[in-house]
A and B are shown apart, each in its own frame.
Chain A
Amino acid sequence: MTLLVIATYPVVDGPVLEGPVTIEPDGAIAIGGTRVPSSQGTSAMLGAAVQVAAHLGTPPPHALVAGDIGRGDGTRAVYERLSEAVKRIGPSVIAFHYMQPVMALMRKAVHELAEIAPDALLVADAGGMYAAKAAGLATRFELMTPDVGEVGFLADPEVTHPAYVSHYLFGNDGFDPVALAATAHETGGASRVLLIKGVRDHIAEYGAIAEVVDEPCVPELEAIGGTGDTVAGLASAFLAAGFPTVDAARCASLANREAGRAMGATPAMHASDLVAALPGVLADNLCRWGGACVV
């Protein structure tokens, strides 16, 4: 029941960090005792995952990260350490997050994981999701968490990055998550379960919509960097706690939205504000949402 997160943090030449993730008293994220910058991205994802583990009493997430500001150096360093770390930790869920989307590295990693951790559930968001889909490996994943633009990317077999997708990018002008989820599944661009983040969150299983979550509706969350990352962290942690994948996705969607409401979200707030609101939200609602008061 351990979540391993494979990712990067935004520091030039930042060393490889590995260890359990904690939230410091001031809200900063620490990995193996070393603080990383608070930003959108993996620190937001990890913060949300820590709050779920703390609430459920499950082990905290374990992270393997390195500094990378977009040059790919940290991404390569993390991939080099991945197999050894997986063998030692034995995670039940492995989540790929902010990484340089290099298809060859993802292919090698997924191939190795099939050998050394065949039962581990794979999750992908952000650059990890871009690489998995572009490399033709999406179907090897249990869960991906695209937003409305990224599901168009998953549904288009010809593109390797969301920057090349123009259709339905913002969830309007004919955006149809039902059709896009089905197309992504049929063309091999989707994981078994998709959590499509938007004004309405759609959860698809094998390409068919299983759940729709649209309350509470907090439009300001779209403007806050990292609030999609917190959804990915919540879902990954629920999955590692043993929730069925669709339930993990639904509880993640509900918790993120409720936290946005509870914090009184404005476009000038930050993902760390949402992470700070999660303990109260989980305590007040998770039993009702998921029937999982104690794992």
Chain B
Amino acid sequence: MALFARKDRKTAPGADEALGLFLFDAVNDALSAERVLKAAGYEVSLVAPPAHLRAGCDLSVALPRVEHIGAERELIDAGVPLREWVADAEGTAEVCDLVTSVDFGQWLMVRAGNMKIVVEKDTGLIVNTSGGGCPDIPYLNLALVGKRVDEVPRPKDLGYTLCGLMLDRAYQEVRAQLDAREMETVGVGGGAV
């Protein structure tokens, strides 16, 4: 029997447990860590580290202190570069989760935080991305614009910064809205309820 089996806990981190933080030198390392740990069954959240631990465009992963050892081994095994573990999550901040939409008739724009994505409704073609100020944003603009929203990798998997993470949230929302629109169209056309 493995001493550190995969996790199967469903309670939100921080609900009644003391939290600690994994710190990273790059935002995309934090995103990779979140992906690895969630796949392993850990309940983690992406947060800004406390002010005295920040170097710039920072993102850290919070989880209960008691799970530090097993989670760290998951990250090492997955080859995720880790700067350090801090057994104190006091002073962290949540990433903005405010998402809104603007209907331009032929086009739909979704904003998440300071990032925006615009698609042509009928084709799913990404016609614009905007907002943000980190260097991966022009890169994502080149990678995404002119392609169908269901045929491109997620911005989260292409980008490297918090701006890229926010664009990913807008991308997820625009996909959800297009999927809902398609279901509605199919429902009407097929006589479904």
Contacts and interface: CB of A to CB of B under 8 A. Distances in A.
B54 A134 contact: yes
A266 to B, nearest CB: 8
Contacts of B180: none
Contacts of A92: none
A9 B102 CA distance: 29
A131 B58 CA distance: 11
A220 B129 CA distance: 13
Contact of B55 (A39, A43, A74, A103): A103
Given A70-B160, A127-B134, A267-B107, A104 B55 contact: yes
Contact of A129 (B118, B133, B138): B133
Interface string B75-119: 000000000000000000111111010101011010101101010
Contact of A224 (B57, B130, B134, B163): B130
Contacts of A103: 54-56
B142 A10 contact: yes
A268 interface: yes
A268 B127 contact: yes
Interface residues of B, number: 52
A224 B28 CA distance: 26
Given A72-B26, A223-B107, A268 B128 contact: yes
A225 B141 contact: yes
A198 interface: no
Nearest to A149: B114
A127 B133 contact: yes
A163 B114 CA distance: 7
Contacts of A266: 104, 107
A183 to B, nearest CB: 18
A41 B137 contact: yes
B173 interface: no
A228 interface: yes
A169 B98 contact: yes
Interface in B48-66: 48, 51, 54-58
Q: Which of A68, A74, A225 has the most CB of B within 10 A?
A: A225
Interface string B153-191: 000000111111110000000000000000000000000
Contacts, number: 181
Contact of B48 (A43, A74, A149, A160): A160
B120 interface: yes
Contact of B134 (A9, A40, A101): A101
Contacts of A128: 133
Contacts of B56: 100-104, 131, 134, 160
B135 to A, nearest CB: 4
B131 interface: yes
B41 to A, nearest CB: 27
Contact of B116 (A126, A162, A223): A223
A92 B137 CA distance: 28
A267 B118 contact: yes
Given A69-B135, A160-B56, A163-B165, A40 B129 contact: yes
Given A10-B139, A225-B129, A164 B98 contact: no
Contacts of A43: 138
Interface of B: 26-28, 48, 51, 54-58, 93-98, 100, 102, 104, 106-107, 109, 111, 113-114, 116, 118, 120, 127-139, 141-142, 145, 159-166
22 contacts: A9-B138, A10-B135, A40-B137, A42-B138, A68-B135, A70-B28, A70-B136, A98-B133, A98-B138, A102-B56, A126-B134, A127-B135, A160-B54, A160-B56, A160-B58, A164-B93, A220-B104, A222-B116, A223-B116, A225-B116, A268-B128, A270-B128
